[in-house]
Chain A
Amino acid sequence: MAEPGTILAASGLGKRFGALVVLGDVDFAVREGEAVGIVGPNGAGKTTLLNVLSGAYPPSAGRVTFRGQDVSALDAAARCRRGIARSHQIPRPFSGMTVFENLLVAARAGGGLRGRAAELRCLDALEQCAMMPLANRRGETLGLLDRKRLELARALATGPQVLLLDEIGGGLTDGEAADLVGIIQAIRARGIAVVWIEHIVHILVQVVGRLVCMDAGRVIAEGAPGDVLRDAAVIDAYLGPSAHAHPVG
């Protein structure tokens, strides 16, 4: 059912924790090299969708396909080795290892590289994410913004075909946000598909060609960013019904 050119797709995806239904019947697809943004209020299920796509959680219903193959039964590590990499909304650095060593884990395990090839991959990712000056710092010494940046660089060092990003842009100044947009655009230019969850919509629309809005575990709108942001359901989800006079974005 996936269209040609689809790299990562979810169909009929459901996730529940006990009685709590967090994702209900989500269909979602990313084409090769495409950049898709995901927005939605807190608790909408965006992070959970990313967790199920990346294999951190098994789905309760539906399936995930990567390049047409069902990967629903694969764990996160196996999916990463195939080319699906993710960042964590709450950063999870390897605190006792340096930034470079953090990346080396990714390049060796996820990227399957050895020796100098692994080192070069890490240096490249560090440079691309403008983290080179921090290469020798231990993970635990980084501040929150650098930890988020490390999430990005580490995922990139696996050599992914799809990069799943979860709120890496929060708390940035305008200048830093512009830098981040440049970084993500450069990643896209390499042909890597990007799925980016972000609250700061004006950053997101500079990168993505398509926007998905989620609420209460469902996709409530999807399409060109401008259209989605003008969608009545999206405005309701963000501001409650009766706020139609004040569109988002």
Chain B
Amino acid sequence: MSGPDLIVQRWTTRSAWFVAAMGALVVLLALGPTVFSAGLTDRLTTLFIYVILGAMWNALAGYGGLVSVGQQAFFGLGAYAAIRLSHAEVPVYPAIVLAGLAVGVLSLAVGEVMLRLRGGEFAVGMWVVAELAHLLVNLDPLVQGETGTSLIALNAVGAVARRGYNYWLALATMAALLGVLFALLRGRVGTAIQSIRDDEQAAGSLGVRVLPTKRIVFVLAATGCAMAGALWLSTAITFQPKAYFSVQWTAYMIFMTLVGGIGTFEGPVLGAVLFFLVETFFGARGVWYLVGLGAAALAFSLFLPRGMFGALDQRFSLRLLPLGYRVMLPGLLLRRGESGRG
């Protein structure tokens, strides 16, 4: 055997089936509002938004090493931008989509400053950004301070149609964001961003363009969180700044990511489903609920650092998605490699 003859495997039969099954699931879910009850449709809309939030925080922290405790900045700004655009006579659903994109553009400027900060500075800096965004939004007379306002234009859409549109838009946004993230991670951005996460200086020494690579992931995560905020507004209708710029949103993202599996693509999706179930069956919000979530996240990061999915993946070599690379070594070499040296 010689190096150049070796196959570098990405797709396996299992991963091909898994990706096909996930595609089929999205298509089936698209039937949702026509077959599901109103309650279930609403709940699933919420789940899709949670999946977006978990996946975006994981893209940032799990793949980019950019731990943000201020992602609620973009969630809140997304909702606010939708209010503003709708007020400027943009039709309401286009306004929701445009709001996410507009905040994504804004995040380019935010990133220019924040991405020069490292580790803890970045985390705290993002929290400051969130507080600042909250204050600035409160200055807009349209918002009426903490009294808030609502996306009035939605009232013109009938309740049944609105439920369906919200659901489809959330599903489509979730699928699109997961698709973009998947494509990015499979390509050169994927290896570059993970190398920056693991050792920024070493990445630079190998030719990685550190800032532009971080920027891509930062803007994607900001756009995703902003879309989630605008979608949340489409379901809640009312906009009270305090509720949207609350740090609880980032706490949810962290919980979903840590419990599901940070740095794995599938983990936060699993985490979002779990979080959704916990919320559906234990319902309660309030302080103890948050304390419980925090404790669970902490326990996971201490005892299962790669979360539920990471543990499963390791135990059973699941490799459900073709994101990594496996050099197909002849048996003899493989055994020597597994036993290790040095």
Do A and B truly interact? yes
Return the contact of A136 from the options B192, B327, B342 (Cβ within 8 A): B327
* Contacts A77-B207, A126-B3; A97 near B195 (Cβ below 8 A): yes
**Distance to closest chain A CB from B24 (angstroms):** 29
Query: Scoring B residues 320 to 341 as 1 if CB is less than 8 Å from chain A, else 0, what string do you get?
Result: 0000111101000110110011
Contacting residues, chain A, for B324 (C-beta < 8 A): 98, 101
Interchain CA distance A196-B209 in the complex, whole Å: 26
- Are B198 and A139 closer than 8 Å at their CB atoms? yes
Chain A: interface size category: 35 or more
**For the complex, is B13 an interface residue (Cβ under 8 Å from A)?**
no
A residues 137-154 touching B (CB-CB < 8 Å) = 137, 139, 141-147, 149, 154
**Distance to closest chain B CB from A194 (angstroms):** 17
- Are B327 and A145 closer than 8 Å at their CB atoms? no
* Contacts A126-B3, A143-B340; A86 near B205 (Cβ below 8 A): yes
Interchain CA distance A161-B81 in the complex, whole Å: 51
**For the complex, is B188 an interface residue (Cβ under 8 Å from A)?**
yes
- Are A132 and B333 closer than 8 Å at their CB atoms? yes
**Distance to closest chain B CB from A36 (angstroms):** 20
Contacting residues, chain A, for B333 (C-beta < 8 A): 132-133
Selected interface stretch from A102-110, A204-212, A223-231, A236-244: A102-110
Interchain CA distance A111-B337 in the complex, whole Å: 26
Return the contact of A114 from the options B188, B207, B336 (Cβ within 8 A): B188
A residues 112-128 touching B (CB-CB < 8 Å) = 112, 114, 119-120, 123-124, 126-128
Interchain CA distance A201-B205 in the complex, whole Å: 27
- Are A76 and B204 closer than 8 Å at their CB atoms? yes
**Distance to closest chain B CB from A240 (angstroms):** 35
Interchain CA distance A192-B91 in the complex, whole Å: 62
Minimum CB distance partner of B63 in chain A: A96
- Are A136 and B204 closer than 8 Å at their CB atoms? no
- Are A132 and B3 closer than 8 Å at their CB atoms? yes
Interface centre among A94, A126, A146 (most CB of B within 10 A): A94
- Are A135 and B191 closer than 8 Å at their CB atoms? no
Interchain CA distance A148-B234 in the complex, whole Å: 54
Contacting residues, chain B, for A92 (C-beta < 8 A): 199, 201-202
Query: Scoring A residues 143 to 177 as 1 if CB is less than 8 Å from chain B, else 0, what string do you get?
Result: 11111010000110010000000000000000000
Given contacts A94-B194, A142-B342, A143-B342, 4 further A-B contacts (CB under 8 A): A109-B192, A123-B3, A127-B2, A134-B341
Shortest 3 CB-CB distances between A and B: which pairs? A110-B207, A133-B337, A145-B342
Q: Which residues does B use to contact A, with CB under 8 Å? A: 2-4, 6, 8, 188, 191-192, 194-195, 197-199, 201-210, 263, 324-327, 329, 333-334, 336-337, 340-342
**17 pairs from A and B in contact (CB 8 Å cutoff):** A56-B204, A76-B204, A77-B207, A86-B205, A92-B202, A94-B195, A94-B202, A98-B325, A100-B326, A109-B206, A114-B188, A123-B3, A132-B337, A135-B337, A139-B198, A146-B341, A147-B342
